[in-house]
């Protein structure tokens, strides 16, 4: 019985560690908009043909890894004074797969470098990220949908 409790305790600790790592990945994703350090976007997402994403801004079609990374980078560099707030986060782990759901409020100024004008951005979205663990947790699917 003691062995069973010890095993259950170590599994609980491992799950807490995984949840913390996954939470850090979600924060890293949105922090790219604040810091303009875009390199982590490639590091936390799985560069694989099975990667997919849907965004909360056009184009709304299903995208592959390369297109997703390019659009994420373009989006984050185009928004000055970017800020975000993640709420209602839920992380469910199933062996080597995790589903993260949350809402995110994003604000900032979309800058048009050609006309030197900006447009205020304030939007709230629902998010679902699916992660898979090989050696480390990586995002394999992103789905963001704007809340009207």
Q: What is the phi/psi pair of residue 97, to 5°?
A: -130, 145
Alpha carbon 38 to chain centroid distance?
13
- What pLDDT is attached to residue 119? 85
Q: What digits encode the pLDDT tens for the residues 8-53?
A: 555 556 667 999 999 999 999 999 999 999 999 999 999 999 999 9
Q: What digits encode the pLDDT tens for the residues 114-135?
A: 656 678 999 999 999 999 998 9
- CATH class given for the domain over 2-146: alpha beta
Q: Confidence class of residue 111 from pLDDT cuts 50, 70 and 90?
A: confident
pTM: 0.87
- What pLDDT is attached to residue 114? 63
Q: Are residues 101 and 127 in contact, defined by beta-carbon separation less than 8 angstroms?
A: yes
Helix (H) / strand (E) containing 106: strand 97-112
- What pLDDT is attached to residue 115? 56
- Averaged pLDDT, 132-141: 96
Q: What digits encode the pLDDT tens for the residues 54-65?
A: 999 999 999 999
Q: Confidence class of residue 148 from pLDDT cuts 50, 70 and 90?
A: confident
CB-count burial class (<10 Å; 0-12, 13-18, 19+) for 50: exposed
- What pLDDT is attached to residue 16? 74
- What pLDDT is attached to residue 1? 61
């Amino acid at each position: 019985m003691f062995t069973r409790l010890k095993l259950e305790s170590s599994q609980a600790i491992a799950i807490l560690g995984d949840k913390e790592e996954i939470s850090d990945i979600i924060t890293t994703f949105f922090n790219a908009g604040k810091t303009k350090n875009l390199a982590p976007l490639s590091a936390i997402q799985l560069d694989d043909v099975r990667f997919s994403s849907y965004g909360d801004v056009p184009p709304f079609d299903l995208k592959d890894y390369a297109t997703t990374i390019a659009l994420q980078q373009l989006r984050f560099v185009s928004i000055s004074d970017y800020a975000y707030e993640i709420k209602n986060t839920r992380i469910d782990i199933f062996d080597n797969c995790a589903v993260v759901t949350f809402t995110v409020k994003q604000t900032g100024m979309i800058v048009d470098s050609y006309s030197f004008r900006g447009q205020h951005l304030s939007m709230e979205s629902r998010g679902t990220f699916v992660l898979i663990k090989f050696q480390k947790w990586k995002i394999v699917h992103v789905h963001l949908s704007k809340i009207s």
